Structure 1
Amino acid sequence: MTIQGSCAPRFAEVREEFERNFAERDEAGASVHVTLDGEPVVDLWGGVADPVSGRPWSEETVVHVWSCTKGATALAAHVLASRGELDLDAPVVRYWPEYGAEGKDATLVRHVLAHQAGLPAVTSPLPAGAFYDWNLMTTTLAAQRPLWEPGTRHGYHGLTFGFLVGEIVRRVSGLSLGRFFEKEVSGPLGLDFWLGLPEDLEPHVAPTIPVDPTRPGVLLPSLFVTALTRPESVPGLMLLNNGGYMMPGESDSRAAHAAEMGAIGGISNARGLAGLYRPLALGGAYQGVRLVEESQLPLMSDVAVAGMDAVVMVPSRFALGFQKATDNRYLPPNDREGLLLPEEAFGHNGMGGSLGFADPKARLSFGYAMNRQGPGLGINERGQSLVDAVYRALG
């Protein structure tokens, strides 16, 4: 497998592990990017973007990064908070009055960011294509009774987070989530990262290669098992009642790529993911582009909730909108995928294994994106091997 790009000698082991992913860990196409003190030290890509056509993964290839999108959406909210335009301790209804229906009037903005809002799913059947209709989804969520008392527990809002946080961003800024992100983050930083992909960029997208659940050795996480065996459960509602978005192939449709879905719809690559977090590893700014004041960073990196997750049924830890390291290696094999990072780091992974994060203490940012998914929600041995190699290089 031909690997292209550059890698500083100090980080040679990252390149070695990247090559091993293709040789030993069933990688198809992928990219990895690392910055240190703002400078790229790893920028590698390789493999096949589209196994059907044989199109190679190039420097311009982008891919669906699933829940890595949540990091971009959370950042949008923190940009507004850092400017004093959004109070994270205020009730949501201050900015979105309709949200107060069905006993949600006391829900705080921080509850939404920390997956404590009690709206990981909706109970009313959603029509086909619901996730491509922003008004439908935000109206439905505003009218939905919470599935638990907001603020009393946390449970991963895997598919609804983007509509909830994104509508708050829209109400405060007057711009759609995708437009705000482009204007304030991806545009100024020059990132290959879109919440709503322009149609002329479709040829650069690598189609997702979903995991084959019938393949020997593939173990489905408890979340998926519960959803398939108990469709009335919260996991079942989340994964089955989404207007068909989670059906095989739908996430690669033009409608899905064009939609602004702040939980799961982002299109990017490793360079875009690492670039998103680069300013956050450097006190909130990079090359004259200040995203947040340095005083905002503790709210983005400090643990807000931790413990058993009410939705995914394994332990999880979150800051306000970002994931924190969680070691689940002691769990049964189907639920061991977690996120092993230094305690100072914060970011977000995507279903199947993609990852972006910042480590302010090390002044480091990291991105990894691939087209072949692993079986779980966390990162798997491909991404973790790259992270581990980065930190071994740092000593």
Structure 2
Amino acid sequence: MRLCFALLLLSLPAWGASGKYLTWIDQHGRLHNTFVGSEFSAQQEQARQQVEDQDRLRLSGDGGAGGLYPVQSGTESKRRYFTWVDQTGRLQSSFYANQVGQGGNPRDYVLPSGERASDYMDADVLEGRGFVRSENGNPYYTWVDDQGRTHNSPISVEERAAMFAKPSTVSKIEFNEGREVNLSGKAQQLPGLDGAPNEAMRRLLGDSAQVQGIMREMQQRCCLQLTDDDFIELSVEEPRYEEMNSFSPSLALPTGKTSYAAFRLPRSQRTYGLRVRSFANKTVVYPSLLFLNEGKVPTRMVSDAVYQLHPETWYRYAFLEGTVAIRPERGERYVLLITTSEDLAQATLDNQPFKRPLQALTVDEDGLQQHAHVQEGAFELAIVR
């Protein structure tokens, strides 16, 4: 028995030393390993020769091969081709689009493998279907609910295709919400549920009589005394960096005495955004925005919109950020950055304080750093479209 087994081993061919295996996937998605042996190079050369012959016929000018690949006006016509490996491990390359020149349907072209071109889906068509083939069934996504149960929810071909669609060059601006007081004389709209005013928002904004009083007093105190030279032109090309300090002008408004920075807004036919960043260095300016029309009459005041805090890092200070909607169609032409007495009485809490080298970090018992609201500080304004 030992002798027979040894002879069996000696009689096996030495395929592993001289042969090669070609790994390929068939049309059903199954993985195959095909032994190609010593004739692999010959098969590769045969495939390359086949491609060269087809190109020579296509570029011959007289159509060659019954005019299967015509050339019009002496120039190379557009074609489609694809390369694949058949079941015997041979490399195949075919093109068929030029049959359109003879009035034939390229989808009816029979490939050397015996299959029709219609069996293959164009890449742009497949992308439009969200890369979903009919033989693969309907697409779905898997998610887990709040109780830990797994669900499979179907998704339409159109919804999946939208996921792969190229993003639009026009980005949608995400405006920050805040307290808005309309000074144009219209009735104040308060947020609420199911059309009913929210009581908390009533207390926050005050009753209608108080708002009307603020409107009249604001229009009396501001801002007809300002001239065109008092306003800084905002550019749509680059941000504007400014500071409010002890030399900045001030106004006595119903919301309290305040330093201010005045800006002229770009003209436009549609709504755009004004991004405001107020930098924090222990203290911070918590700004409100007062909008004026062409006659420098207040029309709208927005507060509590610049509130997103970006923590300090080793290369920048912390800053508050917000993007407020500008409505040129309502006549908004100028904007004043101001502070209110209500905002000055509060502070911004930072839950990610940064420890600067050689400086002590002051935090409260909860580990929060307080940035007091003041009237002097630096900020940046940018137009967002």
The reply to whether TM is greater than 0.5 is no
Larger RCO: Structure 1 or Structure 2 (Cα < 8 Å, ≥ 6 residues apart)?
1
Q: TM-score, normalised by structure 2?
A: 0.20
- The structure that is strand-richer by fraction is 2
Larger radius of gyration: 2
- The structure that is helix-richer by fraction is 1
